[in-house]
Structure 1
Amino acid sequence: MVQNSLAQRHVFPRMVRFADIDSLGHVNNVRFFDYLEDARLGMLHIDPYKAGDDPFKGLVIARHEIDYRRPLGFRADPVRVETWVTEVRPVRFTLRYEIRDDDEVFVTATSIVVAYDVERGAPRRLTGDEVAYLKRFLAPA
């Protein structure tokens, strides 16, 4: 699929919570998966987008890959979880993330997301509306 140089990134502000901090004084590595999930839900389910009756129903994660760039400690201001799409295929798509502020990138990550038919218990094809929505965020990795 052709990538769009004018693609936008979905930006999700995420507060660092006391419960996120481990004994070393920074966000625990496992907690970053919560940050990614919050941003993914914000992008695909919460934002004012309607692709039929239930957009993106039945998505499952096939793979997560995460790179920890810098420690993130407790702070009063939220970090930004920026999310964009790097690939769209018939039954899956790839999301890329940066957890960052204006000056630093703390985490980069990638998720492969598969469209899933819950009733059949099997992968399904992405709908035309879903693909059109994802293309808004399609950009190089």
Structure 2
Amino acid sequence: MARHIYSCPLRWSDMDAFGHVNNVVFLRYLEEARIDFMFRLAPGDGSPSFSGGSVVARHEIDYVRPLVHRHAPVTIESWVTKITAASLTIAYEVKDPEQVYVRASTVVVPYNLAEERPRRITAEEKLFLQEYLDQEPAVV
């Protein structure tokens, strides 16, 4: 099983009054990593996959330890834990080599923007996602 690796820069504005990255900002980090992951298959190679849209149905986040601003980016590892006919679950770890700051998951539903309704995962998308599929739950 492969993991998608995303190097996420920290911004000074990500910090809150307590001097660490605000909990809401982690959702933006996960979004950046998820978009980078899902669009690895899409238009660059001429594939229409995932370019039609998707919506987030659910987020779960476990905050393990505070992250403070620094110049070095944080690593976000992403992988797939579940694929159904019309949704997928992506798991994440926001981390440095020696520690994890956040463990999270997102349920994503492919969406047909033109028809304004959810759609099924295509065979091409499923094949791509299976490369990242790990059916063992992450240790929390």
TM-score normalised by L of structure 2:
0.90
- Which 5+ residue runs of structure 1 have no aligned equivalent? 1-6
Q: Which residue is 2:112 aligned to? A: 117
Aligned counterpart, 2:38: 44
Residue among 86, 89, 96 paired with 1:101:
96
Higher relative contact order (CA 8 A, sep 6+): 1
Report sequence identity in percent.
Answer: 41
1:70 is aligned to 65
Name the CA shift for 1:63/1:48 in 2 (closer, same or farther; >3 Å).
Answer: closer
TM-score (norm 1): 0.90
Q: 1:48 to 1:88 in 2, by over 3 A?
A: closer
Corresponding residue for 2:132? Answer: 137
The answer (yes or no) to whether the contact 2:42–2:48 under 8 Å persists in 1 is no
Paired residues, number: 134
Q: Distance in 2 between matches of 1:55 and 1:40?
A: 14
2:10 to 16, 19, 29: 16
CA distance in 1, matches of 2:30, 2:7: 11
Tell me the C-alpha RMSD between the 2 structures: 1.4
Which of residues 73, 83, 86 is equivalent to 1:88? 83
Note the alpha carbon deviations across 1:43-76, whole angstroms, 9 max, x for none: 011x365675422121100001111000000112
* Partner Cα separation in structure 1 for residue 131 and residue 46 of structure 2: 17
Secondary structure of 1:30's counterpart equals helix
Query: Quick one: which amino acid aligns to residue 82 of structure 1?
Result: E
CA distance in 1: counterparts of 2:7 and 2:27, whole angstroms: 15
* CA distance in structure 2 between the partners assigned to 1:49 and 1:59 by the alignment: 13
- The structural deviation recorded for 1:105 is 0.4
CA distance in 2, matches of 1:48, 1:117: 17
Q: Secondary structure at the match of 1:97?
A: strand
Further displaced range: 75-84 or 48-57:
48-57
Q: Which runs of 5+ in 2 are unaligned?
A: none
- What per-residue deviation string (whole Å, max 9, x for no partner) do you get for residues 93-139 of structure 1? 00000000001100011100001111221111111110000001001
- Aligned to 2:28, what secondary structure does the other structure show? helix
Q: Which amino acid aligns with 2:105?
A: T
